[in-house]
């Protein structure tokens, strides 16, 4: 379990930078007078390059053990965000957050493989690994408020500190469990790759991701608008959004042990429709309650998506991890500019309304999916030989 603890904490130190990009949006709007569309472009820049390169990193880790990716990707993710506040132009800001996105992309396939191997296939242990990422998200707005809220965007280089800690933790995880058990790649699984099921699952995750990224980018501004609060009100809303995800992740792993992965995943999507509707429509401070509920139900299936994807593609575990844990999440950022442009043309409330329907679309995509066979659910950790079919 020592390796899982190190990997979970390292995950927090990497995913904090995904949360920081959204947390920086109100400061870009305040200090640089970005429009909603321009601000959402920052979120897009962090997601776009990440979404393109993530499957590549997944395919590479299917062929070779790459333990050095874990600490290096942590440093890269941190460096991009640290530079974003001191760049002199919008283009350089986009480039900086894009570099951070590449670091995040490089981290997830290898880390997910390592965590699954260290967890022995258990849903609860994988839930703890996913929880690390949620805690990183939850800490992001607090760190940004403490650093940028007091020192302005020019203080952003101080945000590199979590990356330094994460690099140390990732290196410790590799040393603790050994190169073979944590960073060595999985040999070809005993079953066949089920691409149709995997693609339908991925489509559902994209729907979920668009909702979460849309809320992450605009909930701080929306809650400030609805409650009449200042920057603190927006920061609290973002903290609630990310903290609720931590609760949902732990609950998802435990519920899956009792009721099965697909049952839990399928039931979470309709609940998300109701919770997101509450975020958009609830009056005043009640929005905080629905933000928490929406976050929890959005994250109940999070770690279960990852293990289902790995089991649908037992011969390409790295690729499956890169897509379910990274690519589909990053693709959510592609919708952010559309939400921002609609908000500029109408209102934030109108722009957020389409997010209510997307979980229902995700639930429809899940119809007919079956639990992978028992023979496909074991990740066999072997040598660093090629595992491609």
Q: Which residue has the tokens 């992309």?
A: 105
238-275 pLDDT per residue, tens: 888 878 888 898 899 889 988 999 999 999 999 999 99
Indicate the Cα dihedral angle 118, 379, 323, 246, nearest 10°: -40
The half-sphere exposure of 171 on its side-chain side, counting CA atoms within 13 A, is 10
User: Which of the residue ranges 100-104, 124-128, 316-320 would you say has the lowest mean pLDDT?
Assistant: 124-128
Specify the pLDDT at position 96: 94
- What's residue 387's pLDDT? 31
The pTM assigned to this predicted structure is: 0.72
Within a 10 A sphere around the Cβ of 149, how many other Cβ atoms? Answer: 18
CA distance 253 to 165: 27
Residue 295's contacts (CB-CB under 8 Å, 6 or more residues apart) are: 215, 240, 241, 242, 243, 244, 245, 247, 248
How far is residue 112's CA from residue 323's CA, in Å, rounded to a whole number? 11
Q: What is the mean pLDDT of residues 231-236?
A: 82
CA distances (Å), origin 214, targets 41, 77, 220, 330:
12, 21, 11, 12
What size, in residues, is the chain? 389
pLDDT value at residue 330: 66
Instruction: Give the span between the Cα atoms of 108 and 51, in whole angstroms.
Output: 12
For residue 190, what pLDDT is reported? 57
User: What integer is the mean pLDDT of 355-362?
Assistant: 95
**Residue 385, H or E segment:** none
Whole-number pLDDT of residue 349: 92
Helix and strand numbers, DSSP H then E, in the chain: 16, 0
Q: In 10 A of CB 259, how many CB atoms?
A: 11
Indicate the pLDDT class of residue 64, thresholds 50, 70 and 90: confident
Mean pLDDT across the chain, nearest whole number? 83
Nearest to 81 by CA among 164, 4, 6: 164
Choice between 223 and 380, residue whose per-residue pLDDT is larger? 223
Residue in 67, 70, 69, 73 with CA at minimum distance from that of residue 179? 67
What is d(CA 136, CA 134) in angstroms, rounded to the nearest whole number?
A: 5
The pLDDT of residue 120 is 66
270 or 40, higher pLDDT: 270
d(C-alpha 309, C-alpha 322), whole Å:
10
pLDDT for the residue 373: 65
| pLDDT above 50: residue 150 | yes
Torsions phi, psi for 343 (to 5 deg): -65, -40
What gap in Å lies between CA 17 and CA 12, rounded to an integer?
9
Residue with structure tokens 């979404």? 51
Q: Give the contacts of 345 (CB within 8 A, at least 6 positions apart).
A: none
Beta partners for residue 381, in sequence order: 186
Nearest to 339 by CA among 239, 215, 209, 235: 215
3-class DSSP assignment, residue 151:
helix
**Do the beta carbons of residue 245 and residue 295 sit within 8 Å?**
yes
Q: Could you tell me if residue 349 is left (phi over 0), alpha (psi between -120 and 50 degrees) or otherwise beta?
A: alpha
């Amino acid at each position: 379990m020592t390796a899982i603890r190190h990997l979970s904490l390292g995950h927090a130190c990497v995913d904090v930078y995904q949360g920081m990009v959204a947390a920086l949006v109100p400061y870009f709007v305040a200090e640089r007078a970005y429009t909603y569309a321009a601000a959402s472009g920052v979120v897009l820049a962090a997601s776009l390059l990440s979404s393109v390169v993530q499957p590549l990193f997944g395919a590479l880790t299917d062929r070779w053990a790459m333990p050095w990716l874990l600490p290096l990707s942590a440093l890269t993710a941190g460096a991009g965000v640290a530079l974003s506040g001191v760049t002199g132009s919008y283009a350089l800001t986009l480039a900086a957050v894009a570099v951070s996105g590449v670091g995040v992309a490089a981290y997830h396939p290898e880390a997910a493989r390592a965590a699954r191997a260290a967890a022995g296939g258990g849903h609860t242990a994988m839930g703890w690994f996913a929880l690390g990422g949620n805690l990183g998200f939850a800490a992001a707005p607090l760190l940004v408020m403490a650093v940028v809220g007091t020192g302005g965007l020019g203080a952003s280089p101080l945000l590199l500190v979590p990356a330094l800690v994460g690099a140390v933790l990732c290196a410790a995880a590799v040393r603790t469990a050994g190169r073979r058990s944590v960073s060595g790649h999985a040999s070809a699984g005993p079953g066949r790759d089920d691409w149709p099921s995997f693609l339908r699952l991925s489509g559902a995750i994209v729907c979920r991701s668009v909702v979460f990224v849309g809320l992450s980018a605009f909930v701080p501004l929306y809650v400030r608008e609805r409650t009449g609060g200042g920057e603190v009100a927006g920061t609290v809303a973002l903290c609630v959004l990310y903290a609720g995800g931590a609760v949902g992740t732990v609950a998802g792993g435990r519920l899956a042990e009792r009721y099965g992965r697909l049952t839990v995943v399928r039931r979470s999507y309709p609940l998300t429709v109701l919770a997101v509707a509450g975020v958009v429509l609830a009056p005043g401070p009640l929005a905080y309650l629905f933000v928490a509920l929406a976050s929890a139900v959005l994250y109940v299936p999070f770690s279960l998506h990852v293990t289902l994807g790995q089991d649908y593609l037992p011969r390409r575990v790295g690729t499956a991890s890169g897509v379910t844990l990274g690519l589909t999440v990053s693709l959510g950022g592609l919708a952010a500019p559309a939400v921002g442009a609609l908000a500029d043309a109408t209102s934030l409330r109108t722009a957020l309304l389409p997010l209510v329907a997307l979980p229902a679309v995700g639930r429809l995509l899940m119809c007919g999916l079956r639990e992978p066979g028992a023979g496909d659910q074991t990740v066999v950790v072997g040598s660093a030989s090629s595992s491609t079919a």
